[in-house]
Chains A and B, each alone.
Chain A
């Protein structure tokens, strides 16, 4: 298919490489070097989308990241990406894209009715209208989101790979235009390690789209020479297709590199620690705010000549240039050279007289000085404009309108330095009142802005500034200045006149009547909306922004920011800097989550820790649960069993025969040194001086606020050596806690801590046959209850393996906890399983463990406790030493900890023994017809206990111990079971079985 708007020669596209693509289902052809936007324009496609709120037809506005009108959905299926600006998509063969925010099509959009109803839909319409009644918001929201949504996110797993790169460099140059290249050259020549990032595929920046000359030759030749020189420098890294999107503390800078489909990694996130940054991020052209300034065919003037010069595309056949500055005359000249008929230049200034207007005049281009565009004709494409003469003040128009036929309006309101990265670095923009633009103020980090980003717009000055900044940055990074004389290339300077800033161009009708004056094209925010927000009292731009959504789209107001500020300032009678400047936050352009995640997804998202017996558990049908990073068997599933059946079977075995648990995940800290006991005294609530060697003691650890933090058994292995166990999930935290106290408060204590969690495998045998089973495996440990009493340990051999055996119990049964070096864990486990067969040995998981300990009323830290529970609340006063200080002790005396109505740990027995309460359920003492009812507590643990033949629960209840025997209610969605408050120890409260 012919490219109707493509020039026969020129441009930086490769006519030898035609590329086929589809847009909204139609097939087109472009060339290598095109963007999707330039290829669409080459095919005469201007209408590309519908606006966010009013669904007005929109055309391509720009040729860069600032694009507001052409967000497209790129590709379909798992690789689909929403809301990418067509101006930023490099064309490739087979590309497929579609407009967003239109239904059924971009040509006919049902929601365009919003445009007709717009008088009824002012700024904040949704806030005001759908606030009442509040409970309807949920249903309103669905419909509104449907109507206002842009693209759609992929629903499939991303098939692509992303990488993260880490780098240190002397000088980072953000932006590969003339100033950036000059800076990189100057820095590179000193031997500095330089990274230069350019967001587009090709370096050169604005030079790619201009007809400038450097050293008497086309500027692009200078670019090619600069790139060749940089590429030859071993310490210089050129990163095309790479956007510097984030500037963080201490010169930490984040870059996103687009790599395409051919290299295996679609995008790379670069994290760069920079000594000196040069910000050569260029400038973004300001649109003008005038009546119906959003019609397809209205384009930024700089973009129009970029399409002509760089892409050999004529965006229209007959153009009107509408400007407040000299720069747009370049567009008039370039379009004319490209064969576009230039109807006239409409200049807001009365007497344009710079070099460029003179050149236009010499070319016979009509210039209407002191005129304005007051109306735009054509809905899906401009077909004419009306222009009128401004009066002396510039506040109104005079005389008769003149109609000029055209299909392209190139607008320019001047240029804004791209301050985003400067702002992110902590710098505050300075308002240059003479030119009405924000420029970088003082640097807060080691950075420097150059060229257009610094408000320096002339090419010659950009090159000089770039060279100087690059050399200074290298010197600042500690590099010696190059001995070679740096010659700054020669460029003929063009004298340009001042701009005339009319923030809202006057027209036949007042603003807000008959036509719309768009400020933020992306979010459909008009000048009238901003004026309304000012009238309604929104004085700061930050408030106006949230009220009107000004600058809040994916483009982040790159084209609308300054006009929005200026209109608000004018409405308030204030100066522009007094209404505030927007603080730019990362990212500069949207960053896909894939790049941020990199390869840290799926199994690599978080480390997985497995015990030495893990594969045995897998083969035995274990269903695993995550406890911290550990995989622990939750229960062992047998065919035809439910989870409840399995847990019942495992629980019964522990009390009636013998059951075996992999407890290797418990945290273990080896504590050594003459002050080890003193450390324990300070961090545990009970006293440790009297603990004999080979004995164990339960310890409770509190935070300094008196709340339970962790618990576990600590054993004394020798004179100055203890082994502390912690809960599985808290092992690292407890280690850190002890280290913190030792290093920061008690450096005088002679204690060393070593985490030995992974060095030992732990196998727990519980139940009446545990002793007999273990007896077959050891000759050097006397297992008799008198010789080896509860809460003691023995060292010897088990199954020929060196072992530490502890008589401790979390099930309430006579138990042996056998610790062997981790490498022997599986051997021990399989030996015990083999010999235990005759006793019906049953492996059990964490679920059965939880039930068994709940039957005993033992707490689990993190289940019965939540950071607001004291030992007294748990009825564990017995573990609190009265004689010594310990962490958290003083807090237990605080008034709040002494309150009588604190929640206390109790047992709950449902009236219906088969009714298992959900954990977290709220408890009330007095049942009412409907909420609210005073809630006196909540269920913390709840199970069906096969051993007791009924349901049991633990709960925290206000003043619970005094309520023993009382009946309470547990209102649920579908029922309200009654339960009786009981002692939390349901099974063997005297503990006879433990000691047996």
Chain B
């Protein structure tokens, strides 16, 4: 079971949290300007990274705040936890960020 450091509450067991999948996928500002394929890409396609990965978590059974986590999907090591809207830690950014 992961030990996740909520930026608001501190380190807590994984069971208090829910994972929201890949981070830094912004909702397109004008969905109507997108082709079906582009929209489908936003809607359905997520990376399945082996290694450093940026993902969203929410402290469901705690403060109910969303935040971002940099986690290695092989070792499960969490290398960074940062708030919504914050930029990903630089070293990890390249691996997971997707341009939209």
Contact = CB atoms under 8 A, between A and B. Distances in A.
Interface of A: 248-252, 271, 273, 426, 444, 704-705, 736, 739-740, 743-745, 747, 885, 889-891, 893-895
Contacts of A250: 1-3, 76
Q: Which of B27, B36, B76 has the most CB of A within 10 A?
A: B27
B82 interface: no
Contact of B43 (A249, A426, A739, A891): A891
Nearest to A741: B27
Nearest to B28: A890
A426 B3 CA distance: 16
Given A250-B1, A740-B58, A890-B39, A745 B27 contact: yes
B1 A252 contact: yes
Given A444-B75, A885-B31, A249 B1 contact: yes
Contact of B3 (A273, A885, A890): A273
Contacts of A891: 39, 43
Interface in B1-59: 1-3, 13, 20, 26-27, 30-32, 34, 36, 39-40, 43, 56, 58
B32 A890 contact: yes
Contact of B84 (A249, A705, A743): A743
B34 A426 contact: no
B79 to A, nearest CB: 13
A483 to B, nearest CB: 31
A598 to B, nearest CB: 14
B97 interface: no
B64 interface: yes
A496 to B, nearest CB: 38
Contacts of B60: 736
B65 interface: yes
A249 B2 contact: yes
- The 3 lowest CB-CB distance pairs between A and B, nearest first, are A890-B31, A250-B3, A252-B1
Nearest to B33: A890
Contacts of A744: 20, 56, 66, 84
A248 B27 contact: no
A733 to B, nearest CB: 11
A743 B1 contact: no
A59 to B, nearest CB: 41
13 contacts: A249-B2, A250-B1, A250-B3, A252-B13, A273-B13, A704-B27, A704-B43, A736-B58, A736-B60, A740-B20, A743-B65, A743-B84, A890-B34
B40 A894 contact: yes
B15 to A, nearest CB: 10
A745 B26 contact: yes
Contact of B31 (A271, A739, A747, A889): A889
A250 B79 CA distance: 12
Given A250-B3, A891-B39, 6 more contacts: A249-B2, A252-B13, A736-B58, A740-B66, A747-B84, A894-B40
Contacts of A273: 3, 13
Nearest to A706: B43
B3 A743 contact: no
Contacts of A444: 75
Contacts of A426: 75
Contacts of B85: 747
A941 to B, nearest CB: 30
A249 B76 contact: yes
Contacts of B40: 894
Interface in B45-99: 56, 58, 60, 64-66, 75-76, 84-85
Q: Which of B34, B36, B60 has the most CB of A within 10 A?
A: B36
Nearest to A444: B75
Contact of A894 (B1, B20, B39, B66): B39
Nearest to A273: B3
A736 B3 CA distance: 22
Contacts of A736: 58, 60, 64
B84 A739 contact: no
B25 to A, nearest CB: 10
A739 B20 CA distance: 13
A277 to B, nearest CB: 14
A745 B27 CA distance: 7
B28 to A, nearest CB: 8
Q: Which of A444, A743, A745, A894 has the most CB of B within 10 A?
A: A743
Contacts of B13: 252, 273
Contacts of B34: 890
A248 B3 CA distance: 11
Contacts of B64: 736, 739
Q: Which of B30, B31, B75 has the most CB of A within 10 A?
A: B31
B20 A252 contact: no
Nearest to B23: A744
Nearest to A251: B3
A251 B78 CA distance: 13
A131 to B, nearest CB: 35
A120 B44 CA distance: 53
Nearest to B66: A743
Contacts of A893: 36
A893 B65 CA distance: 33
A868 to B, nearest CB: 14
A890 B36 CA distance: 9
A887 B64 CA distance: 22
A252 B3 contact: yes
A876 B36 CA distance: 23
A894 to B, nearest CB: 6
A250 B84 CA distance: 24
Nearest to B31: A890
A270 to B, nearest CB: 13
B43 A705 contact: yes
B14 to A, nearest CB: 8
Given A739-B64, A747-B84, A894 B36 contact: yes
Nearest to A704: B43
B44 to A, nearest CB: 8
Nearest to A248: B1
A743 B64 CA distance: 10
Nearest to A890: B31
Q: Which of B66, B75, B85 has the most CB of A within 10 A?
A: B66
A453 B29 CA distance: 58
Contacts of A249: 1-2, 76
Nearest to A894: B36
Nearest to A742: B66
Contacts of B31: 885, 889-890
B88 to A, nearest CB: 14
A739 to B, nearest CB: 6
A251 B39 CA distance: 41
A747 B65 CA distance: 12
A271 B13 CA distance: 11
Contact of B36 (A251, A704, A889, A895): A895
A13 B23 CA distance: 61
Contacts of B39: 890-891, 894
Nearest to B78: A250
Contacts of B65: 743
A252 B3 CA distance: 8
A745 B23 CA distance: 11
Nearest to A753: B64
A885 B56 CA distance: 25
Contacts of A251: 3
Q: Which of A249, A271, A893 has the most CB of B within 10 A?
A: A249
Nearest to A735: B64
Contacts of B1: 248-250, 252, 271
A743 B58 CA distance: 10
A702 to B, nearest CB: 12
Contacts of A895: 36
Contacts of A271: 1
A248 B39 CA distance: 38
Contacts of B2: 249-250
Q: Which of B56, B64, B85 has the most CB of A within 10 A?
A: B64
Nearest to A252: B1
Contacts of B3: 250-252, 273
